[in-house]
Amino acid sequence: MAEFRSRANQGIITVAGDDEDILLCPNCFFPNSGTARECVACNYTLQNGNVRWLRAGFIRPCSNPNCTAFVFSRDTQCPKCGHPIGNSNQAPSAEDTNAPTSAEMPRDVLICPECHAENPLNASQCSMCDAPLHNTATAKSGAMVLNFHNLRTERVVQLSLPANGTIMIGREGLLSGQFPADGSQSNVSRVHMSLLQRDGRVYIRDERSTNGTYVNYREVTPGRELPIESGSVIELGPNARENRYSEYFELTY
């Protein structure tokens, strides 16, 4: 039996074991049960495509004692405060004392789908290019909105990539709802690949997956970060156009 309790005391959930599915709220980054419709900590609506599905055993509190977020154990940086992920049981070092204050925390914004400018949440049109902002994804300031177009099912899912952050994709990461849970029925690994944002550019990294990651039909060297452009095709597993156990997406941003 495991228990997740918010440091701000605004939420608490109990799970049966490390293998239980957890929904990580994209608004406050508090874990919720896999059947939850809204976050127990902030009441944010947990819709398909905007939440992070993870196993309970892969989640731990952010190592910044002033942050209330929970993070994926393989993240390198907290998506809420930007603090480097270290040993959550280790006291902060002298170098960690300059962690971001609440005034520096990323804020929720609307990112224009046309020019990518950041706008307030109540904006109806972009302040830079006047494009309408109806049904625009909410993201943290400095984040990039990534569009994943599943070329097999034609479904499009939007994910937010934090500034200088990382997101994991696989059967136990983001987009998990698009892959079979049973590994024998899929070429997608539990943690298959990562997408990273560095200085406004997007990079892809294969997390030493069993069947490989391919960009524009060329294999990515495991463990290395490769710049990836908008409009690229990502394959999880080989020959996805003909192999039904592999998956492939067009990535735009």
**Residue at token pair 């592999």:** 246
Q: What is the reported pLDDT for 53?
A: 62
Three-state SS for 250?
strand
Instruction: Give 116-156 pLDDT, tens digit per residue.
Output: 566 777 788 877 677 888 766 665 556 788 889 999 888 88
Q: What is the reported pLDDT for 89?
A: 39
Q: What is the reported pLDDT for 116?
A: 59
Q: What is the reported pLDDT for 93?
A: 40
Q: What is the reported pLDDT for 45?
A: 80
Phi/psi class of residue 10: alpha, beta or left (left: φ > 0; alpha: ψ in -120 to 50)? alpha
181, 189 in Cβ contact below 8 A?
A: no
177, 171 in Cβ contact below 8 A?
A: no
pTM of the model: 0.49
Q: Is the pLDDT of residue 90 over 60?
A: no
Q: What is the reported pLDDT for 98?
A: 39
CB count within 10 Å of CB 120 equals 11
Q: Is the pLDDT of residue 241 over 80?
A: yes
Three-state SS for 14?
strand
Paired tokens of 85: 């992920």
Paired tokens of 114: 């046309």
